[in-house]
Structure 1
């Protein structure tokens, strides 16, 4: 067997790549090579351990994973049913503001009732908001799936005539047109961190997609998100494919205007070592920025390269610091049950975002996200939490050239100060949390950059600024690139998040030679679901039934 030639090569092992690899391996029997620069597969779906503690780096909660939902069926197909999902508590989110806290439950109608009870004068606008978010999310979803081509492209064009996604309408513009109470405006966008830009900078359609995604609560992968890549790896290897870790793609090889392979650098090798791998189909999951501005040779003509470069220069990617905590005691003793907490020191989300660099300097974070992986995962062996805050890459850039784990004392001191500032903020709202911390470790934008190679440590791909979605820029995020044989997949096809990235993988698969159309994928997911139910029914039959 030739170990350098494959049917398909995937650059990166994030959710889009995992989806494409799994579907093409199991439904088309393709021999696939997945290249990953990290020493663990999975991209932002990977997990890690320190001592007895375990955390997921990117997945904190996922909507639409209820039994029987279309997204759950698709996910089960991709992972061959090897990943279970634990429903979060009915109270799954708390939005914490200076003078009130709002509890979000896993029920749309209750959400609406609770909002109206808190803001009775805005009842009409609240009800209209839920109709508008449903409409906007549907339009955005149709626009994304129409990239799969075929009759869906035509259907998308027809639907957009009657329900176009108004991507130039910002979330703040919508709120200002429909609501009066500033606290209500702030409350409705409390989850903006899940897509990375505050109300004045985000399209209302993108906000709507997230708002709709979590209307019926959220789920967490049993045993941690690392099981996702492990399950797909099993499928890929069963078809003769392979995952190669510690391989950083440095160039997409192009011959006669066609992508034919990938040159990689072996990470952590004693001597600089390069390898080349070949396939008639190359799929990049590392994002539009890296693909067009780094991996495709600079002398290869790409008509939109400069417009993309200008966008990237003008819009800093969303990045963050994450404080990973291990506890000596069960945080349930402090009243936590596994819900997420969005803690804000102000109602002005744009001001919080604009201070993402300033707080690094003055040690006064204005907003954080608090999550408890161990309380969501029934297989957790020790109690953990994560505190996430937005950051500015430039604040850390001076340490960029220093090696991971070998940065200087000033950097380590900064991390310690930031860790304490985050702990202090949370402890002010929930006294006693600081006392049960046994282990702590902070990651920064440099950590993100080191392990993923994403531009300035970005975690959501191309920023979802309205310009990204303008018609003249559509080629940036289309699955078919201007280079024959080269395709794009992952979050940049739609937006950040595991479900959008998975859909990016599905859309890419529909565009590949010998690919699989969107309807075919969902039909296969339905058949797989039926097969799983039959198997479960057989395994759970009573002894009496078996004897009959």
Structure 2
């Protein structure tokens, strides 16, 4: 039996149509669509002091950085992801196209400039590896096939009625072996180890090395960036800034510093949440203590906190979750992606060193498996992998120049300091951060002499930072890792928007995969499952209609309606 929750008849201020746990892009997508298109009064509860999840920004000494948005593909105005973004933000976010060469793969003795054109990219690979020409051509064809299969798989689990049937038929027509790993595919198709490494260079974007990632996952990311990438003008914080007013316009709220500690249930149904106000928490007087705890109620509760937190922490232990043990087993055997990130502020313009805003994937060796499994070298100041990004060179409104350096790390290296407070961890922790920082800067400076001389400010975040603000297990940045096992029928239940608890739904990365556009689509999938939501075709149609209407309002901007319709 599930224990009943005693709830008073709430005041109007604590009763909503929908409550969302977390303010990541999946949650904001749901909130925006349901507020705009269904007139719902939505409450979004965020434990961080800023809304937006991994789309929020922060600043130090006039320098601005985004914590999760580094670049986004498919933001051309005629692409469906862009149409959906324009719908949920009411065209409040503008997108700046990155340079024609938007990525650089850097290896010992081998560099590759990645162009924003798939045909040019393919030709460049063939020129460097002529003996692999046939396999390279097949690889680009397989990217499309595998990406479609992966997308259909995720959509099919979160669709209803005729749409579900159509997607099932499409799955049979556009089938691809989802259990095939990226490494298995590369070994099967190519003989040149350096080419295999080059093609897998972006694996940190989804957090799983080639031997553990489904090729379909790799193909989805690689396809996403074949036409280049974009960056939000003004930084990623403009996303939440555009959506929050749309929620508030229908009487909804976005409350930061509000941590959901429990999903409340009554007669087997989710009815609300218990919340701790982190600003009031810790005050000693009784009035403040009362203010620190509150309950909010709604007929629909949607968790953007991830499957693990939702099913294993927020629900009562006796809630009927048939897959609780299998979810725990998956977590024990599939550790999430965790990283350090060094936020750098420059004293001068980094363009003097030849940077133009492109991303740099720096590898000290070609063996991605060794890099993934021996992150201890990073702790010793010798990183084997660095993702280098320049927010200020992508953002035309930036006032001071910045960079971000990411590298994969094992969470256990920092676990000893888990219970020490944020910004007040001991000297040993600070010394480790300083050693990592020095190693990252020295490595980049070796590849690009003069880089370190331009650094005016540097601050390192660890997985403990992410864990503190997001409560994701081990500070995971992409939710539970996407392995071939996660795509099996045995794990389908916890990757669906609809949960076994009436009134409770999921959204966010565990429905699809990590990333901005996947989070957007997770929100769309969740809306399609809600009792008063909209089916997938209706949401896509709304996005297209708004795009066409905007083009009529601004006739000087060309509109290719045929291309838009095909995108649906």
Of the three residues 116, 129, 132, the one matched with 1:119 is 129
Partner of 2:561: none
Give the aligned partner of residue 283 of structure 1: 302
What is the alpha-carbon distance in structure 2 between the residues aligned to residue 165 and residue 404 of structure 1?
A: 45
Which residue in 2 is equivalent to 1:177? 188
Q: Equivalent of 2:146, from 136, 155, 158?
A: 136
Structure 2: which 5+ runs fail to align? 1-10, 284-288, 559-568
Q: Secondary structure at the residue paired with 1:93?
A: strand
Deviation at 1:378, TM superposition (A): 0.3
Deviation at 1:369, TM superposition (A): 0.1
Alignment-derived partner of residue 546 in structure 2: 528
SS of 1:86 mapped into structure 2 = strand
1:466 to 472, 476, 484: 484
2:503 corresponds to 1:485 = yes
Q: Helix, strand or coil for the counterpart of 1:142?
A: helix
Give, in angstroms, the shift of residue 538 of structure 1. 8.3
- Matched with 2:514 is 496
User: How far is 1:531 from its partner?
Assistant: 2.2
Q: How many residues align?
A: 539
Report if aligned partners of 2:98, 2:358 keep a CA contact under 8 Å in 1.
yes
Superposed displacement of residue 299, structure 1: 1.3
- Distance, in Å, in 2 between the alignment partners of 1:323 and 1:342 is 15
- CA offsets 1:507-531 (integer angstroms, 9 cap, x no match): 0000001111111111111111122
> Is 1:214 matched with 2:232?
no
In the TM superposition, what are the counterparts of 1:306-321 in structure 2 within 5 Å?
306-321=325-340
2:149 maps to 1:145: no
Alpha-carbon contact 2:381-2:437 (below 8 Å) kept: no
**Is the 1:47–1:224 Cα contact (8 Å) retained in structure 2?**
yes
Aligned to 1:377: 395
Report the secondary structure of 1:186's partner residue.
helix
| Residue 108 (structure 2) aligned to one of 98, 104, 108 | 98
Q: CA deviation at 1:359?
A: 2.0
Query: Which aligned pairs between 1:407-446 and structure 2 lie closer than 5 A?
Result: 407-446=425-464
* Residues 145 and 152 in structure 1, CA contact (< 8 A), matched pair in contact too: no
Q: 1:339 aligns with which of 354, 358, 362?
A: 358
Equivalent residue, structure 2, for 1:544: none
1:230 has 2:241 as partner = yes
Work out whether 1:270 is the aligned partner of 2:264.
no
Deviations 1:240-297 (A, max 9, x none): 0000110111110011111000111111423362211000000001110110111111
2:16 counterpart residue number: 6
Match status 1:20 vs 2:30: yes
The alpha-carbon deviation at position 411 of structure 1 amounts to 0.8
Structure 1 unaligned segments of length 5 or more: list them.
541-548
- SS of 1:251's equivalent? strand
Structure 2 residue aligned with 1:546: none
What is the 5 A alignment of 1:25-104?
25-104=35-114
Quote how far apart the aligned CAs of 1:534 are. Answer: 2.6
* Cα separation, 2, equivalents of 1:434 and 1:515: 52
Partner of 1:370, secondary structure, is: strand
| Distance across 2 between alignment mates of 1:67 and 1:168 | 34
Output the CA distance in 2 between the equivalents of 1:151 and 1:336: 50
Deviations 1:180-226 (A, max 9, x none): 00000000011011000111010000000001000000000000000
Q: Please list the CA deviations of residues 422-480 of structure 1 after superposition, one character each: whole Å capped at 9, or x if unmatched.
A: 00110000000000100110000000000111000000001111111111110011000
CA distance in 1, matches of 2:16, 2:176: 39
In 2: Cα distance, 1:304 partner to 1:106 partner: 43
* 8 Å contact from structure 1 (residues 26, 235) kept in 2: yes
Quote the Cα distance in structure 2 between the aligned partners of 1:309 and 1:228: 33
TM-score normalised to the size of structure 1?
0.97
| 1:108 aligned partner | 118
Alignment correspondent of 1:198: 209
The answer (yes or no) to whether the contact 1:327–1:436 under 8 Å persists in 2 is yes
Question: Which moves more between the two structures, 462-471 or 155-164?
Answer: 155-164
- TM-score under structure 2 normalisation? 0.94
Deviations 1:301-360 (A, max 9, x none): 21100000011111111110000000000000000000000000010001101012x124
Contact 1:360 1:395 (8 Å CA) reproduced: no
- What does the per-residue CA deviation read over 1:64-114, in whole Å, with 9 as the maximum and x for residues that have no partner? 001211111111001100000000000000000001100000000000000
The match for 1:514 is 532
Question: What CA distance in whole angstroms lies between the structure 2 residues aligned with 1:478 and 1:376?
Answer: 35
SS of the aligned residue for 2:428 comes to helix
Instruction: Verify the 8 A CA contact 1:148 1:508 in the aligned structure 2.
Output: no
